[in-house]
Amino acid sequence: MGFGDLKTPAGLKVLNDFLADKSYIEGYVPSQADVAVFDALSGPPSADLCHALRWYNHISSYQKEKSSLPGVKKPLGQYGPAGVEDATSAESKDDDDDIDLFGSDDEESEEAKKLKEERLAAYNAKKAKKPAIIAKSSILLDVKPWDDETDMVKLEECVRSIQMDGLLWGSSKLVPVGYGIKKLQIQCVVEDDKVGTDQLEEQITAFEDYVQSMDVAAFNKI
């Protein structure tokens, strides 16, 4: 196990790929495993290594708590993907307990600070350009009339007259329920943050001259 040489682009690429589906080196919380790998880096990864840079920025926020993070720090060769050997050079590995794993702002050179700021700015700019994912759902509604004399054309017209930001009506059909009565089954797509089934029910049942009740027949995330 290992990441190769974490002080080289190739080693950082291995780390980036390793963190593509992980938040931490081990487990689901920051630990001494993260501290050990963090300490092996000479600085923040470049912006194109987005997973490694995201992890680096997150772990660096634990500077004051680093000694209290859980776990026991192990050699670098015991972390990372299988089949890759650790080749990271280290200074004074025997004095790990005396090393400030995160360094301090006073010890950073102006050039290192500037490089770090540039990489963070590039990463944040790239992240800001990514379009926000809008959560949507497909809902199938059953709208029931009072009786077989209810004007179903008018009922559907009333339902479709409901307009909200994040609501899109789809196909519909009349489904027999017995005794000559038919219900309106209508599809719609909603943005989850803007439209809820309670809102739809409140507005649809407000057409009380036509609508007896409304039920959700199917609800699927898109």
Residue 130 predicted with pLDDT over 80: no
Name the least confident of 9-13, 48-52, 107-111.
107-111
The predicted pLDDT at position 64 comes to 83
Collapsing DSSP to helix, strand or coil, 38 comes out as helix
Contact 189, 170 (CB under 8 A): yes
Mean of pLDDT values over 19-48: 89
In the chain, % of residues over pLDDT 70: 88
| pLDDT computed for residue 206 by the predictor | 93
Q: What is the C-alpha to C-alpha distance for residues 12 and 27, in angstroms, rounded to an integer?
A: 20
Token code pair at residue 99: 């090393």
59 Cβ contact partners less than 8 Å away, ≥ 6 residues apart: 30, 34, 35, 38
For residue 132, pLDDT over 80 is answered with: no
Give the number of other Cβ atoms within 10 Å of residue 12's Cβ: 24
pLDDT (mean) for 173-201: 94
pLDDT at position 154: 95
pTM: 0.43
CA distance 86 to 11: 9
